[in-house]
Amino acid sequence: MAKHAVPKKKTSKARTKRRYGSFKTKTLTKLTNAIHLVTCPQCGAKALNHTVCKQCGKYRGRQVLNMNKKVSKITKIKA
């Protein structure tokens, strides 16, 4: 005898798709409700709550990121 649960019938394509469709909509609504965007008081751009603003680099009025420093794109990798 099998110790694990054994399905009696094959799950149809429609049933599988229906299950994953409902899972998808459920998780998407959960994710959209979880993301809280706030407007930055310094620059007014939309930023995630409790994170550094990527436009001005400030968090709670304090400069956290150095925005003058330019990060050049890595085009060549030296071997």
Tell how far CA 5 is from the center of its chain. 35
Q: What is the closest distance, in whole angstroms, from the C-beta atom of residue 53 to Zn ion in the complex? A: 3
Assess 55 for contact with Zn ion (CB under 5 A): yes
* Residue whose CB is less far from Zn ion, 53 or 62: 53
CA distances from 47 to 7, 10, 31, 33 (A): 48, 47, 16, 15
Region binding Zn ion by CB under 5 A among candidate stretches 8-16, 25-33, 34-42, 69-77: 34-42
Strands (DSSP E) contained in 22-61 are 37-39, 46-48, 58-59
Assess 42 for contact with Zn ion (CB under 5 A): yes
* Residues near Zn ion (CB under 5 A): 40, 42-43, 53, 55-56
